[in-house]
Amino acid sequence: MNLILLIVATMFSIIWLLWMIFTSKNNSLPPGPPPLPLLGNLLSLDSDLHSHFTTLAKTYGPITTLWLGRKVAFVISSPDLAREVLKVHDTTFANRDMTAAGEASSYGGNDIVWSPYGDQWRMLRKIIVTQMLSKETLDSVYSLRRKEIRNTIKQLYGRRGGSPVNVGDEMFATFMNVVTGMMWGGSTTVKDGMNRVSLGVEFREVSNEMTGLLGTPNLSDFYPGLAWFDLQGIKRKTKAASKKFDGIFEKIIDQRKKMMMDGDEISNDFLQFLLQVKDDGDFKTPFTITHLKALLLVDRESYPEVMAKTLTIVGIYWKNYSIPFRGLNFYLDMAIGGTDTTSTTIEFALAHMIDKPETLKKAQQELDTIVGKNNIVEESHIKNLPYLHAIMKETLRLHPILPLLLPHCPSKSCVIGGYMIPKGARVFVNAWAIHRDPAIWENPLEFIPERFVNNKWDYSGKDDNYFPFGSGRRICAGTTMADRMFMYSLASLIHSFDWKSGEGEKIDLTEKFGTVLRKKQPLMAIPTPRLYESYMYE
């Protein structure tokens, strides 16, 4: 026994010595909490990373070093340093740190999120921003969005009677139908035994499987030297799940091609658009069927939080935090992954409006003036609703859906804030902290939409104090789409209904950190019809 203890003590001493030598070579890094040998700071991370990182910044400054195993990461928490990363050195930080599961789930990095900055990324970005999510394309699929929103309004009207509804669940289901309809609505008509409902069930089952894999902490990412061994089997399992997705896409694409050959009438949707882009071949970098599938892989629609569990590997007890270090390609490929993100933002917005009834009343008065209570909301009304836009902006200020954005990875070593950030590091920009900085915002913890009425702030990322969709080259590609879906949906909800919480219940606005920032407690609210005629709910 003494011999075993001596051997263990000796090994620990050697590991500690090697770690001290390793970290001493990096003593020019920004300050941060002391790391443990091998594990770094993994075990000391709090589950609410956005607020945890904000607290660390108060101690260690606006740029903080963290060790995630052998991976070094940096957290940026000030507007000036965010500007250096996202604008001044934008090209250097325009890459992502490819994870094992990210590579396996994105057809080898052929999607817009994981693709390295270069010709392929520019080609995909152009397809999405200037064509796929252009005003003309979005206008052409408005009928799909309108149909699902009206269906939701009708269902809520049918459930009137004083019982609360789960707003997040209702909007999640709505956006699931909106997104799948826009992606391939025309190809999932009943034909050859295939329909949209059965396709949705199959898609959701594989999505849940993939989400669980992408949300699991992976030794291969924290210790790159172990990646080849795939000790947890995550890469192998992710590839298997990706093949299931591939099978779904093949069925959809084959059926669409058959419909085209048969001369069937085809609805406008994104699949039809992408097939046309592939056939036209107008890009310097070829747009292939692999790229097409990678872009379709945007709505992993469940995004459940990774449940608390323990993982025992090589004798190490590891807490599983729902941290955004991996597998984030399914969130913002085209921002149509807004199934979860948009429904969560609407849930926060409506919760704040119920908590402050004067805000809800003011928004409804604006709608009554522009739309009228003898009419229903259309997307054409959105441009004339400045106060509702202010509500959206204030919601995204307080609750940015990706509070740490997506991590950036420098392609070469670069000086930020006077410190050398090494090539290949992970860099998190804490938008949540910047959006709540009392040096920037008056009463930063209060929900005050009026601060965004008639001012300069927008979603372009040009302002260093406000960038809920990111900034620079890697800014969210689907801002316009997100704006339309949020505004049209929320306008329809509050124009058609009055909303209140249950008797004696207080609205809980507590956040729960995860790959998407969400309400800790689901919003349960009671809708009461407010329009003049019942036919307006059909």
Residues in a beta bridge with 512: 518
Strands 524-529 and 518-519: unpaired
The answer on whether 476 is annotated among ligand-binding residues is: yes
E-assigned strands of 58-143? 63-68, 71-76
Cβ 430 vs Cβ 77: under 8 Å: yes
| Tokens 């003590």 found at | 9
The DSSP string of 79-97 is HHHHHIIIIITTTTT-B--
Q: What is the 3-state secondary structure (H, E, C) of 318-373?
A: EECCCCCCCCCHHHHCCCCCHHHHHHHHHHHHHHHHHHCHHHHHHHHHHHHHHCCC
DSSP state of 317: E
Cα pseudo-dihedral 75, 78, 83, 86, rounded to 10? 30
Strands 63-68 and 71-76: antiparallel
Retrieve residue 475's tokens. Answer: 């800014």
Q: List helix spans (H) across 428-468.
A: 431-435
**E strand or H helix at 2:** helix 2-24
- Measure Cα distances from 230 to 424, 433, 448 in Å: 21, 35, 49
DSSP state of 306: P
Counting beta carbons within 10 angstroms of the beta carbon of residue 358, is it exposed (0 to 12), middle (13 to 18) or buried (19 or more)? exposed
Cα pseudo-dihedral 442, 448, 454, 455, rounded to 10? 40
Residues in a beta bridge with 319: 310
* Helical axes 386-398 vs 479-496, angle rounded to 10°: 110
DSSP state of 191: B
Q: Which residues are annotated as a binding site for heme?
A: 476
Q: Which residues are annotated as a binding site?
A: 476
